[in-house]
């Protein structure tokens, strides 16, 4: 079984006002070669995430460079607020800082939206009661957002 939780997720690329005093505002994802990007490393594989953007109707991956690589997107937002670089993060994580003008969102027209998260579990006629309680809990709490 696959149950959607939380709905679609949009990406936001953000930087602080101080950052944009030192670097130009990118107008296209190809401009990222001239930026200091905060990269994300998967803790399991060690691979660096390639940033994805929607360009001319298709999804394009960009390998970015920068002086900081993290493995937690919350740290990326904090580092962006400190002016260290551009953060590629979930829109919901950045929105409070965008609203307070601590961060500025860029490349909005290229930001992809992903289907979101799903809860996967084995299909059975009679799932264990613990599984049913857990699924009900996740569904109830994911709808509050």
pTM of the entire predicted model: 0.83
What is the per-residue pLDDT across 41-57, written as a single tens digit (0 to 9) for each?
999 899 999 999 999 99
What is the per-residue pLDDT across 55-91, written as a single tens digit (0 to 9) for each?
999 999 999 999 999 998 889 999 999 999 999 999 9
Q: Which residues, other chains included, contact 32 with Cβ-Cβ below 8 Å and sequence gap of 6+?
A: 26, 51, 62, 64, 86
Count CA within 13 A, CB hemisphere, residue 89: 30
Domains and CATH numbers, the chain: 8-114 (3.40.190.290)
């Amino acid at each position: 079984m696959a149950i959607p939780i939380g709905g679609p997720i949009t990406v936001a690329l953000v930087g602080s006002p101080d950052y944009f005093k030192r670097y130009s505002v990118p107008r296209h994802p190809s401009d990222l070669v001239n930026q200091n990007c905060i990269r994300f490393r998967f803790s399991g594989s060690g691979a660096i995430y390639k940033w994805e953007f929607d360009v001319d109707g298709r999804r394009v991956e960009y390998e970015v460079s920068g002086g900081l690589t993290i493995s937690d997107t919350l740290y990326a937002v904090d580092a962006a607020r400190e002016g260290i670089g551009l953060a590629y993060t979930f829109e919901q994580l950045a929105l409070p800082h965008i609203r307070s003008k601590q961060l500025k969102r860029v490349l909005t027209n290229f930001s992809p939206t992903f289907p979101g998260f799903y809860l996967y579990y084995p299909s059975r006629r009679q799932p264990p009661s613990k599984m049913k309680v857990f699924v009900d809990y996740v569904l109830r709490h994911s709808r509050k957002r």
